[in-house]
Amino acid sequence: MQVNKHIQVTMDKIQHFPVLCWKTSKKVGAEDPRRIIHSLKVGLSLTLVSLLYLIEPLFKRLGSNATWAVMTVVVVLEFTAGATLCKGLNRGLGTLLAGSLAFFIEGVANRSGRVFRACFIGAAVFLIGAAATYMRFFPKIKKNYDYGVVIFLLTFNLITVSSYRVDNVLKIAHDRLYTIAIGCGVCLLMSLLIFPNWSGEELHNSTVLKLEGLAKSIEGCVNEYFFDTEIDENKESCSGDQIYKGYKAVLDSKSIDESLALQASWEPRHSSHCYRIPWQQYVKLGGVLRHFGYTVVALHGCLQTEIQTPRSVRILFKDPCTRVAREVSKALIELANSIRNRRHCSPEILSDHLHEALQDLNKAIKSQPRLFLGSNRNKASNMLALAAAEAGQKRCRSGGSLSSVKTDSSALMEWKTKRASEQSREAERKVLRPQLSKIAITSLEFSEALPFAAFASLLVETVAKLDNVIDEVEELGRIACFKEFINGDDHEEQHITVKCEKPNINVSQNQLSSVGGAE
């Protein structure tokens, strides 16, 4: 029976495999239609270089060296123009250096006897191999020229070793260089001229999206903090899922940003209005945004802790907090629009509204001194009962609305459920559990305004960090020669902002490229 069932399951999987493939294909294409174009471009390039073999006169001229053109296309042609150029130049540089060194060594080796020559070549291969590999650990070389060193090593070894058996190495090298050049030419043509994708454009758009995502997260956090039991039409779109999506892209962006900036620095300046586009400044801005993001994560953490300030208390501060969040979010959106339209940001980016909202929050906190006391035992215990009840409710709901927030620990949750039915190691666990819960109880006895104080303080912290973000964006605008801010632009921006307010941040990355390009 067991075996039969197993076979049944496997058969089912095989039957569903084509459907799954088709669905994945459609999804991958829908997420970014440029992927389809890129695939067709690769297919076309490969067919073009194959013609070197298939067409008689060309084959007679180049012979079997045409394989090197095929190899070059497969290895060099990448998704964006910058990546292709970066790889192509690395390859070219590596090949040239390796060729020169190999011929130098051959020249030295040629003057001696056959046995000594073999020893000399062997020693050279060992030394150069070890030295080049060691160099790959140097941080600067690892970052910029890792691929170039691999190609250097490959070419050097191939030439040096071949030269021992073949006499006309120079002729071979010459022919190969020829076909490699053809391959590189096809790659450059395809990546630079036919529907090019620019790494710089990608970095630019992802920066805009990160700013917008953070704006959405902050608003979402505050909305959820104050609205969580009310039935609100905004709730669906501002759930924990949305909050998480907003800052997720920011947190793990370091390596992506750095490689995009590196590739972009190889790209020709396709926008005419600035001499030098400061890609490194985008990376720096990304770093500041990441630090901003950590505060947002901590803010989001306030929604998820076990101990919560009762709703009756929170509601007192709802208005100023919501306004502060709205103003911060508005400033971030303005920064995003400023980068998207490549213009300086509005001088009124930090409006008096933010100032007023902060003062109101201050007033609200000062007007409720008793809440921050926590020594009113009787009142406190009532509130704690309320808080405990709410925490219980919240935990029931958390499976639904917050499901994707807990991606990282979802398996843990699963395991916890599973563990309930698994009694074998219970004895051991009992030693640990009571103490864990003891801590939870201890936490609950804290002054209940403490969690709200943390929330408010973190909110003020985002305002403080907004300063850094504005500084970096201004600096970007200064280096990249953004145009001056004109008040009339605002109308057009509003339009674009509405367009980009779509919830799905991953998908819209490519939808935006046309907006960015149209500018």
Give residues 429-448 in contact with its own copies (rule: CB under 8 A): 431-432, 435-436, 438-440, 442-443, 445-447
Query: Nearest 10 degrees: CA dihedral of 195, 86, 189, 58?
Result: -140
Residue 170 lies near its own copies (rule: CB under 8 A): no
Residue closest to 371 by CA, chosen among 316, 426, 413, 410: 316
Exposed, middle or buried, 81 (CB in 10 Å: 0-12/13-18/19+)? buried
To its own copies, the closest distance from the beta carbon of 266 in angstroms equals 21
Q: Which stretch binds its own copies (CB under 8 A): 38-46, 89-97, 213-221, 232-240?
A: 38-46
Is the Cβ–Cβ distance between 62 and 117 less than 8 Å?
no
Residue closest to 206 by CA, chosen among 320, 340, 308, 79: 340
Task: Tell me the site size for its own copies, rule CB under 8 A.
Answer: 126
Is the Cβ–Cβ distance between 48 and 69 less than 8 Å?
no
To its own copies, the closest distance from the beta carbon of 354 in angstroms equals 7
Residue closest to 266 by CA, chosen among 256, 255, 277, 257: 277
Tell me whether residue 85 or residue 149 sits nearer to its own copies (CB atom): 149
Residue 100 lies near its own copies (rule: CB under 8 A): no
**Spatial separation of the C-alpha atoms in residues 297 and 465, rounded to whole Å:** 14
To its own copies, the closest distance from the beta carbon of 271 in angstroms equals 22
Tokens describing residue 98: 């390796």
DSSP assignment, residue 234? Answer: T
386-415 residues in contact with its own copies (CB under 8 A) are 408-409, 411-412, 415
Residue 478 lies near its own copies (rule: CB under 8 A): yes
Q: Which stretch binds its own copies (CB under 8 A): 62-70, 87-95, 181-189, 237-245?
A: 62-70
Tell me whether residue 235 or residue 256 sits nearer to its own copies (CB atom): 256
**Spatial separation of the C-alpha atoms in residues 329 and 322, rounded to whole Å:** 10
351-390 residues in contact with its own copies (CB under 8 A) are 352, 354-355, 358-359, 362, 365-366, 369, 372-375
Query: Going residue by residue from 241 to 260, which x/- string records binding to its own copies, judged by CB under 8 A?
Result: ----------xx-xx-----
43-47, long-range: CB within 8 Å, 24+ apart, which pairs? 44/190, 45/73, 45/77, 45/186, 45/187, 45/190, 46/70, 46/73, 46/74
Residue closest to 328 by CA, chosen among 301, 308, 299, 285: 299
Residue 74 lies near its own copies (rule: CB under 8 A): yes
Out of 22, 116, 126, 195, name the contact with its own copies by CB under 8 A: 126
Out of 188, 192, 453, 515, name the contact with its own copies by CB under 8 A: 453
Element (H, E) at 515: helix 508-518
Instruction: Give the position of tokens 């490699």.
Output: 180
Exposed, middle or buried, 116 (CB in 10 Å: 0-12/13-18/19+)? exposed
Instruction: Give the position of tokens 């009142």.
Output: 379
What number of CA atoms fall less than 13 Å from residue 54's CA on the CB side?
A: 7
Tell me whether residue 231 or residue 464 sits nearer to its own copies (CB atom): 464
**Spatial separation of the C-alpha atoms in residues 347 and 272, rounded to whole Å:** 26
Out of 97, 177, 388, 454, name the contact with its own copies by CB under 8 A: 454
Tell me whether residue 56 or residue 230 sits nearer to its own copies (CB atom): 56
150-169 residues in contact with its own copies (CB under 8 A) are 150, 153-154, 157-158, 160-162, 164-166
Out of 44, 96, 108, 194, name the contact with its own copies by CB under 8 A: 44
Tell me whether residue 100 or residue 442 sits nearer to its own copies (CB atom): 442
176-235 residues in contact with its own copies (CB under 8 A) are none
To its own copies, the closest distance from the beta carbon of 399 in angstroms equals 17
Out of 36, 108, 194, 385, name the contact with its own copies by CB under 8 A: 36
Q: Which stretch binds its own copies (CB under 8 A): 5-13, 26-34, 83-91, 174-182?
A: 26-34
Residue 53 lies near its own copies (rule: CB under 8 A): yes
Tell me whether residue 153 or residue 333 sits nearer to its own copies (CB atom): 153
To its own copies, the closest distance from the beta carbon of 239 in angstroms equals 19
Is the Cβ–Cβ distance between 153 and 132 less than 8 Å?
yes
Tell me whether residue 70 or residue 188 sits nearer to its own copies (CB atom): 70
Q: Which stretch binds its own copies (CB under 8 A): 133-141, 178-186, 212-220, 334-342?
A: 133-141
Residue closest to 334 by CA, chosen among 494, 515, 463: 494
DSSP assignment, residue 275? Answer: S
290-329 residues in contact with its own copies (CB under 8 A) are 290-291, 294-295, 297-298, 301, 305-307
Out of 17, 22, 116, 134, name the contact with its own copies by CB under 8 A: 134
